[in-house]
Amino acid sequence: MRKLTYFIACSIDGFIGGPDGDAASMVRFMDEEFLEFLKTEYPETMPTHGRSAMGFDDLENQKYDTIVQGRASYDLALEAGVTSPYAHLREYVASRTLEESPDPNVEIVADDLVGRVRELKAEDGDFGIYLCGGSQIAGELIDEIDELVIKTYPIVLGSGMPMFGSGFAVTEFSLGEVRTFGNGVVVRTYGRKR
């Protein structure tokens, strides 16, 4: 069974962006040390055009071969004229409003997102599934998330978009690896308690 990993950036107070989802305040923490970590351990989590610009588009995927993202995350790429932001992965976009995919590499999942993710998890393979942003889809998929990789940036937003846009439900995870960086970023990995 393949794992679904919510690989997400957030503030100290647990927000993945401002009230409108804007996460631009976190970009400044992409220094050389942190980029080297991403390049070495999570190169596939960088959009294809970003990998190319940083000179590591030839790196093999380390952990994931599939990405699931929400419509708002995908819209950021579309606004930049990019229809397949993660061309190095199989791409799924959860959207009830996008009627047709603008790219043959991107499959739109309009309904039964949980069912589609369960199908992806049931596939054979050594690589996992990268859940990329979307407070609402993270909330919808909370029961399917096997692992959390939380990149916590040393800022407080005060309010904004929470990591999980869902109702109250206690879900336990066990702390795994913790990694700290000179710029104040902390990356924590958690596994779901079964």
pLDDT at 67 (0 to 100): 98
Structure confidence at residue 164 (pLDDT): 92
Q: Is the pLDDT of residue 133 over 80?
A: no
DSSP letter string over the chain?
Answer: -PPEEEEEEEETTSEEESTT---GGGGGG--HHHHHHHHHH-GGGS-HHHHHHHT-TTPPPSSEEEEEEEHHHHHHHHHTT-S-TTTTSEEEEE-SS--S-SSTTEEEE-S-HHHHHHHHHHS--S-EEEEE--HHHHHHTGGG--EEEEEEES---SSSEES--S------EEEEEEEE-TTS-EEEEEEE--
- Mean pLDDT estimate for the chain: 92
CATH code that applies to domain 4-192: 3.40.430.10
pLDDT score of 179 more than 80: yes
Q: Where are the domains of the chain?
A: 4-192
Angstrom distance (rounded) from CA 80 to CA 76:
7
Region 56-84 average pLDDT: 92
pTM equals: 0.94
